[in-house]
Amino acid sequence: MPFQLYNFLLKKGLERRPAQERFFQIVSHTIEKGGISIIQAPTGTGKTYGYLIPILEKGQKAIISTGTKLLQEQLRRDIETLKVYHSYLTGEELDYLVLKGKSNYLCLDRFYQLQSDKRPSQIEDMLKGEWDGDWEFAHVDAELWKEICVEDDYCTPHYRGICKYREECYYWSRLKRRERKARIIIVNHALLALKEFENPEDRLLVIDEAHELDKYVTSSLTDGVSTYTLRVEIMERIAQFLPEAKADVEEFFERHFSKMFNEDTQQIPLKDLSPYLRDFEELIIRPINLYYKRIKEKLISEIKNYLISKLWISLRLRDYLQRSSLLNWEEYFQLNVSFDEPTEEEERVIKKLKTYELLEKKIQRLKDFYKVMKSPPADMGFSVSRRWSSRLKAFNYRLEKFPVFPAGYFDLSGYRGVIITSATVDPEYLYQTMGIVGEFYDLPHTFPYHRVEFVVYNANPKEKEEWEQCLKLAYKRLRTLHDRVLVLLTNKEQLGLFKDEEGVAVQGEDRLSLLVEALRKGQIKALIGLDSLWFGIDVKGEKGILMAKLPFDSPEDPLTYHRIRYLKEIGEEPFEYQKMKALIKFRQGLGRMMRSSQDFGTIILCDRRIFKFKEFRQAVEGLGMKIKYIKHV
């Protein structure tokens, strides 16, 4: 490879890997020729350096998208390492930026709207320092943060133009300046789906961890109506104009949904929303509409009375009035404008107008949701979820709509070139879920999987009791063989099977990164969990892995439910989709075993259906593992 940085890293001890060098070539080619390259790069390829090195060597600007905020931080660490070498070799300082969604940043204007005794003191302190406005470092609870973070409905383009904190605004000034300058911008998939970048034609887009792209894109396109929206964002604002206003918005959710939930359920698919339409109109839409009309009339009259007594008003107030459309053009042009800052009295009027504007936007969203309820498109799915809210001191129910397949919401055409990569990326799945088509490259795996024993126990998850017994036996067997065990389950109910075992930690007890660290250090013997364990954890060295069963998504998962429904409706076979998705997850699970070339261990799968679905068997054998079948467990 004619790469200066790469050669330098080789001298520093980086292992030469043919698959990684092939990765460099594909990235270089995509930078030169454009187009979309889809690269399946098994664990051990070194894919992060695989794209970062050519980007740096070629002086290319790039946007790199990964699954989660946690992975963004991991990427930051890799870039920091390369940055030092790059600067040593070229004398050039690499400018990069880790960018999160807007709602992760503080809005100064909203913060100062809070009464001073309600403002979190740690934020007051951080404002004096080098903080970049990022919630991650603010230690403020989620519901309070929701009231002070950047929000599109609040910070409209017009408001931004006149906001008194615009120059020092964390998101719209400081971060925007850095974004323009940064050679590499690191985002996550949810943000990538929503954000428009300046001059994308200058940038290579890299989508890493692409096996979950559709999940994150779908979640960022999900929209809904919640108890919180109705009570806090609508009714509390209405009460600021009409203190006597009341609407029992909780009644709608309680009446229809409370009985659907038990302790374990958090989200339930809804076939369609027509059974709730009448009550939604009567209990929510109608009273809110009536209040809104009264508020508008009241506000117009108050504003007119106020203006009669004024010879001059400030430019800022006039701007606001123009935006609110409360006056007609004639009245508006009769106003005399001064260039002075708004008086205190005017500030109060502006605040009222701002509250009205926000209320109007929230009500418009509510009406948009109602329209979809009345005539739901077939390619849209629905669900209801609930979580305890400390702000509401009640369950916060949320009714949601989402695109069944987010294909068509995601445009990759504007970039200089696109690299889509993961250890398990299936071009057919990408096409079906995201509508993405590109040149596919399948790089060979490099780890010695023949050192791993892959054992299948004779059990069928459909025969629940026997299968559960088998799971427990498999766990005990792995614990006798290995000091560290990962247990990959497929639903919450299975967690209970291990509650009496010693030395185990269950996902959710603490931050996952801390639990993984505890397992690495031997402070716990086993880590048990669901999705995140199949996909995203890295425990090097000898270990045992228990796979409860082939990881087909539960049809009770709202997205899966609606994908199955939709595929049936358009005459396609949903099982092919389900199998493709389960296979991606299964291969990710296999990938948990070999995290370095020295690793080895045992995988036990308690699901004999692997012999029925040949794709799963081939995935194991394709890595070089022999399958050992235990008929009598």
Query: Given the rule CB under 6 A, which residues bind ligand SF4?
Result: 107-110, 150, 155, 159-160, 163, 165-166, 169, 171-172
CA-to-CA distance for 172 and 155, rounded, in angstroms?
Answer: 10
Beta carbon nearer to ligand SF4, 74 or 103:
103
C-alpha angle with apex 417: 216 to 430, nearest 5 degrees? 40
CA-to-CA distance for 452 and 180, rounded, in angstroms?
Answer: 48
Least CB distance to ligand SF4 at residue 168 (A): 8
Residue 64's CB is within 10 A of a number of other CB atoms, namely 26
Residue 86's CB is within 10 A of a number of other CB atoms, namely 21
Least CB distance to ligand SF4 at residue 562 (A): 35
Least CB distance to ligand SF4 at residue 350 (A): 13
Least CB distance to ligand SF4 at residue 163 (A): 3
Least CB distance to ligand SF4 at residue 318 (A): 19
Least CB distance to ligand SF4 at residue 224 (A): 23
Beta carbon nearer to ligand SF4, 166 or 617:
166
Q: How many CA atoms lie within 13 A of 111 on its CB side?
A: 23
Question: Could you write out the DSSP letters of every residue in 259-328?
Answer: GG--SS--EEEES-SGGGHHHIIIIIIHHHHHHHHHHHHHHHHHHHHHHHT-S-EEHHHHHHHHHHT-S-
The three-class DSSP label of residue 603 is: strand
Beta carbon nearer to ligand SF4, 150 or 515:
150
- E strands within 328-437? 337-338, 380-389, 394-403, 417-422
Assign residue 585 a region: left if phi > 0, alpha if psi is -120 to 50, beta otherwise?
Answer: alpha
Closest CA to 168 of 159, 156, 158, 176: 176
Least CB distance to ligand SF4 at residue 146 (A): 14
H helices present in 411-510, as ranges:
427-434, 464-481
Closest CA to 386 of 548, 267, 530: 267
Beta carbon nearer to ligand SF4, 165 or 410:
165
Cα distances (Å, whole numbers) of residue 147 to 71, 194, 318, 424: 27, 21, 27, 39
Which contacts (CB < 8 Å, 24+ apart) does range 264-268 have? 264/492, 264/493, 266/385, 266/386, 266/387, 267/383, 267/384, 267/385, 267/557, 267/558, 268/383, 268/384, 268/385, 268/556, 268/558
CA-to-CA distance for 278 and 285, rounded, in angstroms?
Answer: 10
Cα distances (Å, whole numbers) of residue 159 to 151, 176, 336, 573: 12, 17, 21, 50
Written as six digits, the tokens of 410 are 């995601």
Written as six digits, the tokens of 347 are 């500030």
Least CB distance to ligand SF4 at residue 173 (A): 7
Least CB distance to ligand SF4 at residue 342 (A): 15
Beta carbon nearer to ligand SF4, 156 or 513:
156
The three-class DSSP label of residue 401 is: strand
Least CB distance to ligand SF4 at residue 156 (A): 9
Least CB distance to ligand SF4 at residue 264 (A): 38
